Amino acid sequence: MPELPEVEATCRQVRPAVEGRRILSVSVLRASAVKPQRPARLVRLATGRTIKDVRRRGKNILIDLSGGLTIRVHLRISGDLEVRENGEDSPFDRVVFQVARRRRLVFADPRALGVVNIHATREVPALLADLGPEPLSAAFTLHGFLEQAARSRQPAKLFLMDQRRVAGLGNIYAAEALFHAGIRPSVRMSRLTGPRLETLHLAIVSILRDAVQSTTIAYSRPGRVREAESFTRFVYGREGDPCYVCGRKIRRIAQGGRSTYYCPGCQQR
Protein backbone atom coordinates (compact mmCIF):
# COMPACT_ATOMS: atom_id res chain seq x y z
CA MET A 1 0.00 0.00 0.00
CA PRO A 2 1.38 3.42 -0.88
CA GLU A 3 2.54 5.30 2.20
CA LEU A 4 3.51 8.91 2.84
CA PRO A 5 6.71 8.89 0.71
CA GLU A 6 5.03 7.24 -2.29
CA VAL A 7 2.01 9.54 -2.14
CA GLU A 8 4.23 12.61 -1.72
CA ALA A 9 6.35 11.52 -4.70
CA THR A 10 3.21 11.08 -6.79
CA CYS A 11 2.06 14.61 -5.91
CA ARG A 12 5.45 16.06 -6.80
CA GLN A 13 5.47 14.31 -10.15
CA VAL A 14 1.88 15.14 -11.08
CA ARG A 15 1.77 18.75 -9.86
CA PRO A 16 3.94 20.48 -12.47
CA ALA A 17 2.22 18.61 -15.32
CA VAL A 18 -1.32 19.66 -14.41
CA GLU A 19 -1.11 22.80 -12.28
CA GLY A 20 -2.88 25.66 -14.03
CA ARG A 21 -4.56 23.31 -16.49
CA ARG A 22 -8.30 23.39 -17.13
CA ILE A 23 -10.22 20.12 -16.88
CA LEU A 24 -11.81 19.79 -20.29
CA SER A 25 -13.78 16.63 -19.57
CA VAL A 26 -14.11 13.83 -17.03
CA SER A 27 -14.75 10.15 -17.74
CA VAL A 28 -15.70 7.75 -14.93
CA LEU A 29 -14.96 4.30 -16.33
CA ARG A 30 -15.92 2.43 -13.16
CA ALA A 31 -18.70 3.81 -10.98
CA SER A 32 -17.40 2.16 -7.80
CA ALA A 33 -14.27 4.33 -8.02
CA VAL A 34 -16.27 7.38 -6.94
CA LYS A 35 -18.53 5.80 -4.30
CA PRO A 36 -20.42 6.92 -2.30
CA GLN A 37 -20.84 9.78 -4.79
CA ARG A 38 -22.41 9.40 -8.21
CA PRO A 39 -20.24 9.61 -11.35
CA ALA A 40 -22.43 12.42 -12.70
CA ARG A 41 -21.56 14.58 -9.68
CA LEU A 42 -17.83 14.33 -10.28
CA VAL A 43 -18.25 14.96 -14.00
CA ARG A 44 -20.53 17.96 -13.48
CA LEU A 45 -18.52 19.65 -10.74
CA ALA A 46 -14.99 19.05 -12.05
CA THR A 47 -15.49 19.80 -15.75
CA GLY A 48 -14.36 23.30 -16.68
CA ARG A 49 -12.46 23.89 -13.43
CA THR A 50 -8.80 24.88 -13.32
CA ILE A 51 -6.35 22.81 -11.26
CA LYS A 52 -4.79 25.16 -8.71
CA ASP A 53 -2.66 22.74 -6.67
CA VAL A 54 -1.90 19.08 -6.00
CA ARG A 55 -1.07 18.42 -2.36
CA ARG A 56 -1.04 15.65 0.23
CA ARG A 57 -2.59 15.10 3.65
CA GLY A 58 -1.63 11.77 5.18
CA LYS A 59 -2.11 9.22 2.40
CA ASN A 60 -4.68 11.41 0.62
CA ILE A 61 -3.96 13.31 -2.60
CA LEU A 62 -5.88 16.59 -2.71
CA ILE A 63 -6.38 18.33 -6.06
CA ASP A 64 -7.58 21.87 -5.43
CA LEU A 65 -9.75 23.36 -8.17
CA SER A 66 -11.00 26.83 -8.98
CA GLY A 67 -14.37 27.70 -7.51
CA GLY A 68 -13.60 26.27 -4.05
CA LEU A 69 -13.67 22.56 -4.90
CA THR A 70 -11.18 19.79 -4.11
CA ILE A 71 -10.84 16.30 -5.57
CA ARG A 72 -9.74 13.79 -2.97
CA VAL A 73 -7.89 10.70 -4.21
CA HIS A 74 -6.99 7.77 -1.97
CA LEU A 75 -4.82 5.20 -3.74
CA ARG A 76 -5.52 2.43 -1.21
CA ILE A 77 -3.58 -0.75 -2.07
CA SER A 78 -2.92 -0.56 -5.79
CA GLY A 79 -4.04 2.82 -7.09
CA ASP A 80 -1.93 5.06 -9.34
CA LEU A 81 -2.39 8.68 -10.34
CA GLU A 82 -0.42 9.62 -13.44
CA VAL A 83 -0.29 11.96 -16.39
CA ARG A 84 -0.52 10.28 -19.80
CA GLU A 85 -0.81 11.16 -23.43
CA ASN A 86 -4.00 10.24 -25.31
CA GLY A 87 -3.94 6.63 -26.46
CA GLU A 88 -1.93 5.33 -23.50
CA ASP A 89 -4.78 3.28 -22.10
CA SER A 90 -4.88 0.58 -19.45
CA PRO A 91 -7.61 -1.94 -18.60
CA PHE A 92 -7.30 -0.68 -15.03
CA ASP A 93 -8.15 2.96 -15.77
CA ARG A 94 -11.01 4.09 -13.51
CA VAL A 95 -11.28 7.89 -13.78
CA VAL A 96 -9.81 10.08 -16.53
CA PHE A 97 -9.48 13.88 -16.44
CA GLN A 98 -8.69 15.43 -19.83
CA VAL A 99 -6.49 18.42 -19.03
CA ALA A 100 -5.21 19.31 -22.52
CA ARG A 101 -5.87 18.26 -26.08
CA ARG A 102 -3.46 15.36 -25.72
CA ARG A 103 -2.85 15.17 -21.98
CA ARG A 104 -4.86 13.30 -19.35
CA LEU A 105 -4.68 12.85 -15.61
CA VAL A 106 -5.59 9.20 -15.00
CA PHE A 107 -6.54 7.31 -11.86
CA ALA A 108 -5.84 3.60 -12.45
CA ASP A 109 -6.42 0.86 -9.90
CA PRO A 110 -6.02 -2.89 -10.61
CA ARG A 111 -7.74 -3.97 -7.38
CA ALA A 112 -10.44 -1.30 -7.67
CA LEU A 113 -10.22 -0.35 -3.99
CA GLY A 114 -9.13 3.28 -4.36
CA VAL A 115 -11.54 6.18 -4.39
CA VAL A 116 -11.94 9.55 -6.12
CA ASN A 117 -14.43 12.03 -4.62
CA ILE A 118 -15.08 15.74 -4.97
CA HIS A 119 -15.87 18.10 -2.10
CA ALA A 120 -16.08 21.75 -1.23
CA THR A 121 -12.55 22.76 -0.22
CA ARG A 122 -13.82 24.18 3.04
CA GLU A 123 -15.15 20.72 3.99
CA VAL A 124 -11.83 18.90 3.54
CA PRO A 125 -10.33 19.69 6.98
CA ALA A 126 -13.39 18.20 8.68
CA LEU A 127 -13.29 15.12 6.44
CA LEU A 128 -9.68 14.51 7.47
CA ALA A 129 -10.04 15.67 11.07
CA ASP A 130 -9.19 12.24 12.48
CA LEU A 131 -5.71 12.29 10.98
CA GLY A 132 -2.79 12.93 13.30
CA PRO A 133 0.00 15.43 12.69
CA GLU A 134 2.09 15.35 9.53
CA PRO A 135 5.42 13.81 10.61
CA LEU A 136 7.46 16.10 8.35
CA SER A 137 5.78 19.25 9.63
CA ALA A 138 6.23 21.45 12.69
CA ALA A 139 2.99 19.97 14.06
CA PHE A 140 4.79 16.68 14.80
CA THR A 141 6.26 17.79 18.12
CA LEU A 142 8.13 15.64 20.59
CA HIS A 143 5.86 16.90 23.38
CA GLY A 144 2.72 15.79 21.58
CA PHE A 145 4.29 12.45 20.66
CA LEU A 146 5.23 11.81 24.32
CA GLU A 147 1.73 12.66 25.49
CA GLN A 148 0.12 10.31 22.97
CA ALA A 149 2.51 7.48 23.85
CA ALA A 150 1.99 7.82 27.60
CA ARG A 151 -1.76 7.27 27.21
CA SER A 152 -1.52 4.37 24.74
CA ARG A 153 -1.61 0.67 25.49
CA GLN A 154 -1.00 -0.16 21.83
CA PRO A 155 2.10 -2.09 20.75
CA ALA A 156 4.67 0.26 19.22
CA LYS A 157 4.17 -0.92 15.64
CA LEU A 158 0.36 -0.61 15.75
CA PHE A 159 0.63 2.78 17.43
CA LEU A 160 2.78 4.12 14.61
CA MET A 161 0.44 2.77 11.94
CA ASP A 162 -2.61 4.34 13.62
CA GLN A 163 -3.36 7.33 11.38
CA ARG A 164 -4.76 9.20 14.37
CA ARG A 165 -1.25 9.20 15.87
CA VAL A 166 0.97 9.92 12.85
CA ALA A 167 -0.54 10.76 9.46
CA GLY A 168 0.79 8.80 6.49
CA LEU A 169 3.07 6.39 8.33
CA GLY A 170 2.47 2.79 7.24
CA ASN A 171 3.85 -0.72 7.47
CA ILE A 172 7.22 -0.25 5.77
CA TYR A 173 8.38 2.93 7.41
CA ALA A 174 6.97 2.10 10.85
CA ALA A 175 9.07 -1.08 10.84
CA GLU A 176 12.15 0.79 9.66
CA ALA A 177 11.75 3.57 12.24
CA LEU A 178 11.44 1.05 15.06
CA PHE A 179 14.57 -0.72 13.85
CA HIS A 180 16.61 2.49 13.80
CA ALA A 181 15.31 3.36 17.27
CA GLY A 182 16.16 -0.13 18.58
CA ILE A 183 12.59 -0.76 19.76
CA ARG A 184 10.81 -4.11 19.60
CA PRO A 185 7.53 -3.77 17.65
CA SER A 186 5.48 -5.56 20.32
CA VAL A 187 6.43 -3.38 23.28
CA ARG A 188 3.60 -1.27 24.69
CA MET A 189 4.08 2.43 23.94
CA SER A 190 3.32 3.52 27.52
CA ARG A 191 6.26 1.40 28.73
CA LEU A 192 8.84 3.29 26.67
CA THR A 193 10.89 5.93 28.46
CA GLY A 194 11.21 9.52 27.36
CA PRO A 195 14.69 9.05 25.84
CA ARG A 196 13.54 6.00 23.87
CA LEU A 197 10.55 7.89 22.55
CA GLU A 198 12.71 10.85 21.60
CA THR A 199 14.95 8.49 19.62
CA LEU A 200 11.89 7.03 17.91
CA HIS A 201 10.51 10.48 17.12
CA LEU A 202 13.79 11.46 15.46
CA ALA A 203 13.93 8.15 13.59
CA ILE A 204 10.45 8.65 12.12
CA VAL A 205 11.37 12.07 10.75
CA SER A 206 14.75 10.93 9.42
CA ILE A 207 13.40 7.77 7.77
CA LEU A 208 10.56 9.61 6.05
CA ARG A 209 12.78 12.43 4.81
CA ASP A 210 15.18 9.93 3.26
CA ALA A 211 12.32 7.89 1.80
CA VAL A 212 10.60 10.92 0.24
CA GLN A 213 13.86 11.96 -1.40
CA SER A 214 14.64 8.49 -2.73
CA THR A 215 11.15 7.77 -4.03
CA THR A 216 10.86 11.15 -5.72
CA ILE A 217 14.16 10.62 -7.52
CA ALA A 218 13.37 6.99 -8.38
CA TYR A 219 10.06 7.65 -10.10
CA SER A 220 10.61 8.05 -13.82
CA ARG A 221 6.87 8.58 -14.34
CA PRO A 222 4.23 9.92 -11.97
CA GLY A 223 2.05 7.35 -10.30
CA ARG A 224 4.54 4.48 -10.52
CA VAL A 225 3.98 3.56 -6.88
CA ARG A 226 6.40 0.87 -5.77
CA GLU A 227 6.77 0.71 -2.02
CA ALA A 228 10.23 1.66 -0.72
CA GLU A 229 11.61 2.08 -4.25
CA SER A 230 15.41 2.64 -4.05
CA PHE A 231 15.13 2.90 -0.26
CA THR A 232 17.43 0.71 1.85
CA ARG A 233 15.25 -1.58 3.93
CA PHE A 234 16.98 -2.87 7.04
CA VAL A 235 14.12 -5.14 8.13
CA TYR A 236 10.99 -4.83 5.99
CA GLY A 237 10.51 -7.83 3.69
CA ARG A 238 13.81 -9.40 4.80
CA GLU A 239 12.60 -12.36 6.88
CA GLY A 240 15.42 -14.86 7.33
CA ASP A 241 18.09 -12.54 5.93
CA PRO A 242 21.00 -11.46 8.13
CA CYS A 243 20.74 -8.06 9.81
CA TYR A 244 23.07 -5.53 8.22
CA VAL A 245 24.13 -4.41 11.71
CA CYS A 246 24.38 -7.46 13.98
CA GLY A 247 24.06 -10.44 11.62
CA ARG A 248 21.07 -12.01 13.39
CA LYS A 249 18.28 -13.27 11.13
CA ILE A 250 15.39 -10.89 10.57
CA ARG A 251 12.11 -12.23 11.96
CA ARG A 252 8.51 -11.73 10.94
CA ILE A 253 5.45 -11.70 13.20
CA ALA A 254 1.79 -10.85 12.57
CA GLN A 255 0.37 -7.66 14.08
CA GLY A 256 -3.03 -6.26 13.29
CA GLY A 257 -3.39 -8.56 10.29
CA ARG A 258 -0.13 -7.31 8.75
CA SER A 259 3.42 -8.65 8.68
CA THR A 260 5.90 -6.98 11.02
CA TYR A 261 9.63 -7.41 10.47
CA TYR A 262 12.27 -6.81 13.13
CA CYS A 263 15.78 -7.78 14.23
CA PRO A 264 15.87 -9.74 17.52
CA GLY A 265 19.43 -8.56 18.10
CA CYS A 266 19.09 -4.84 17.51
CA GLN A 267 15.53 -4.44 18.78
CA GLN A 268 15.53 -5.82 22.30
CA ARG A 269 13.77 -3.06 24.21
Q: Where are the alpha helices (DSSP H) in the chain?
A: 4-18, 39-46, 124-127, 142-150, 156-161, 171-181, 194-218
Contacts of 178 (CB under 8 A, 6+ apart): 156, 157, 160, 184, 185, 200, 203, 262, 267
Question: Annotated catalytic, 3?
Answer: yes
Taking each helix axis from N to C end, the angle separating 194-218 and 171-181, rounded to the nearest 10 degrees, works out to 130
> Which member of 22, 224, 252, 258 is catalytic?
258
**Reduced to 3 states, what is the DSSP secondary structure of residue 179?**
helix
Catalytic residue flag (residue 125): no
**Which listed residue (3, 6, 8, 227) is catalytic?**
3
For the question of residue 88 being annotated catalytic, the response is no
Query: Active site includes 258?
Result: yes
Q: Which of 49, 56, 59, 184 is catalytic?
A: 59
CA 134 – CA 196 distance, rounded (Å)? 21
Q: Which residues are catalytic?
A: 2-3, 59, 258
